[in-house]
Chain A
């Protein structure tokens, strides 16, 4: 997994690419820290470049959302297509995290 973070106004946009599986939990933690410690109240996770995601990856997205909610911030997902869209639909994550 790779990621880039862009700050624009009150929004933190994190673009994730590659695969998001259990093996990426250490690297993903830095994204969770960005969400927790950043000043921005809106966070967008762009999943458009993710080729594959497993249940741990979905678990990490939910953890990121938990952290955002705990910090009174809003998190949403974007670029949800293909395999990622199928997994998100199956896991009903779209009922927990807004998708734009």
Chain B
């Protein structure tokens, strides 16, 4: 708040400069100094506030980008069985399951055909076995005929053929046993043949049923595989698009942050302004001090020279010093020598 100041000012020790010009100058300088000081403080406060706001803006922008990245990574995967499953990998997992099912169907088909081929070979062997049985039966019929003939001949031989009668009877008994055995074998082979044919028929029925539900021709699997490949490509493409957009977003956020930093840097003009203002305020202080201490010397030429020199000596900023030096006609002093603690305005401010 700027306070009203009586431009007809008094000196601090109560002494009033005699010269009305000096009194006017003193009041003006004190008022101007007060206003400048308050303005500097105000600008500094607002500049710091703006800097804080821009810094907060940069942080928000970075945070938003991080959240976007997190969101994208969450969209791209799902939690399953205690782990993260990448959605892009999902069609591949399904494809592997499909391949596994197809492989099992193939193994089943191959084993089915292989089993039928083996059973066919067994049937062929059984046919051979049955031919052998037929042959044995034919031989046995002949053997029985021979034994009958032997019995007839033994009967005709009388007592001398009694022993041969016993042998031929035994041969007949043996032939009957062979008949019974071949009959049993024929029965067994018939059972085995029937069982094998039932197995083959059963496999054939199983295949027919599997064919009816389309499990055999693999058309469903081929379609599913093609659909999964299309899905996979679409997901990969979408993922690439999202990653691309995310990249753009990150780039934009980075650019915003850079621009805000640049704005904050640009706002450092306030520091430069403050240094210059402080230099001017100090100059005014020196003048006011001089007027207070030497109120009568301002009308004197040598007094003014002393004041010029005092002012110049109090200024440390080189460009402000140069300006005053030129104004006072003391250029040589300014260019040839710099007061201690002099620094340039182009220094790094932050």
Binding site for B on A (CB under 8 A): 21-22, 25-26, 29, 32, 52, 54-56, 58-60, 62-63, 86-87, 90-92
Contacts and interface: CB of A to CB of B under 8 A. Distances in A.
Size class of the contact patch on chain B: 20 to 34
Contact of A63 (B105, B114, B204): B114
Contact of A55 (B114, B204, B216): B216
A55 B222 contact: no
Q: Which 8 A-B pairs have the closest CB atoms?
A: A59-B110, A59-B109, A55-B109, A56-B109, A22-B207, A54-B216, A54-B217, A55-B105
Contacts of A59: 106, 109-114
28 contacts: A21-B211, A21-B217, A22-B207, A26-B120, A32-B117, A52-B217, A54-B109, A54-B217, A55-B105, A55-B109, A55-B216, A55-B218, A56-B113, A56-B216, A58-B110, A58-B218, A59-B106, A59-B110, A59-B111, A59-B112, A60-B110, A62-B106, A63-B110, A63-B114, A90-B221, A91-B103, A92-B99, A92-B103
A55 B207 CA distance: 10
B112 A87 contact: no
Contact of B218 (A22, A60, A91, A92): A91
A92 B105 CA distance: 13
B222 A58 contact: no
- Grouping DSSP codes into helix (H, G, I), strand (E, B) and loop, the A interface class, with mixed when no group exceeds half, is helix
B216 A29 contact: no
A91 B225 CA distance: 11
Given A25-B116, A63-B114, A87-B222, A56 B103 contact: no
Contacts of B207: 22, 56
A60 B211 contact: no
B270 interface: no
Question: In the complex, which of the residues A59, A60, A63, A91 has the most CB atoms of chain B within 10 Å of its own CB atom?
Answer: A59
A90 B225 contact: yes
B163 to A, nearest CB: 56
B221 A58 contact: no
Question: In the complex, which of the residues B99, B105, B113, B218 has the most CB atoms of chain A within 10 Å of its own CB atom?
Answer: B113
B114 A91 contact: no
Nearest to B121: A29
Nearest to B203: A22
B102 interface: yes
